[in-house]
């Protein structure tokens, strides 16, 4: 799930400490690493990677930053869907509908804010969805949202009456699954990089002091070539 990487539209919560141009460059690195990570998971199981993008008409903006072989599917929320699905839920459900309409047996949505998500989480999600029987997979984020949701059928209930952009998203999604009797497989939690504190956590992880996720080479390269590490360092370390 991604917005086209353009100045002033992406990673705005990281401005400051980043400039708008830096935030855009970092967003492109995230997209490169996330799509490459999905392709890596595809070496273990039959997984095809797509960017579910918005707004309409911005598909060409992704060409320079996504892994070769990554497809594109529009997910701007314009598709017909139940009235009770609102906000970001419309884009998410649009992505599910678009992928399933392509003939896939399951659709798994991953955010573009976790460049170091461990590859094995993607493999575990795909393996759960490949097993017989209907189910959904949820990867909860540390902030109460989720970094991944997957399903074998377009279950509108999972996107209905959700308080998007709050710490209640994952819990409410799990509750919706329970309400319709849908088996839910939960993955270990991970973090999104969407504010200065989580950017520091990402830098620490890529420095070897984090949680042992995917190496995110493009993100690591950009951070190493920029002054971001020093800019975010505590004052005691800069002195």
Q: How far apart are CA 205 and CA 82, in angstroms?
A: 41
Alpha-carbon separation of residue 191 from 80, 139, 145, 204, 236 (angstroms): 32, 10, 9, 13, 26
Alpha-carbon separation of residue 197 from 16, 82, 194, 225, 233 (angstroms): 12, 37, 8, 20, 11
What is the pLDDT at residue 238? 34
Provide the CA 232 distance to its chain's centre, in angstroms.
24
What are the tens digits of pLDDT across the range 24-69?
999 999 999 999 999 999 999 999 999 999 999 999 999 999 999 9
Domain boundaries, the chain: 2-232
Dihedral angle, C-alpha 210, 214, 215, 220, nearest 10 °: -70
Note the pTM of the prediction, 2 decimals. Answer: 0.94
**Superfamily of structural domain 2-232:** Spore Coat Polysaccharide Biosynthesis Protein SpsA; Chain A (3.90.550.10)
Per the CB < 8 A criterion, the answer to whether 143 and 197 are in contact is no
């Amino acid at each position: 799930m991604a917005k086209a990487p353009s100045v002033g539209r992406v990673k705005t919560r990281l401005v400051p400490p980043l400039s708008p141009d830096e935030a855009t460059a970092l967003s492109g690195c995230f997209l490169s690493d996330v799509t490459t990570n999905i392709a890596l998971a595809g070496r273990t199981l039959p997984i095809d990677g797509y960017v579910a993008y918005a707004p309409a008409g911005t598909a060409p903006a992704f060409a320079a930053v996504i892994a070769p072989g990554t497809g594109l599917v529009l997910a701007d929320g314009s598709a017909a869907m139940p009235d009770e699905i609102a906000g970001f839920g419309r884009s998410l459900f649009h992505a599910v509908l678009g992928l399933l309409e392509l003939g896939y047996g399951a659709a798994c949505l991953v955010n573009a804010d976790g460049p170091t998500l461990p590859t094995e989480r993607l493999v575990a999600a795909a393996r759960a969805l490949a097993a017989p029987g209907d189910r959904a997979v949820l990867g909860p984020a540390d902030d109460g949202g989720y970094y991944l949701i997957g399903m074998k059928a377009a279950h509108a209930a999972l996107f209905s009456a959700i308080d998007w952009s709050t710490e209640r998203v994952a819990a409410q999604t799990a509750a919706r699954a329970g309400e319709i009797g849908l088996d839910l497989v939960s993955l270990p939690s991970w973090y999104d990089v969407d504010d200065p504190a989580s950017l520091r956590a990402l830098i620490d992880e890529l420095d070897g002091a984090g949680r042992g996720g995917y190496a995110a080479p493009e993100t690591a390269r950009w951070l190493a070539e920029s002054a971001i590490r020093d800019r975010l360092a505590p004052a005691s370390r800069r002195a």
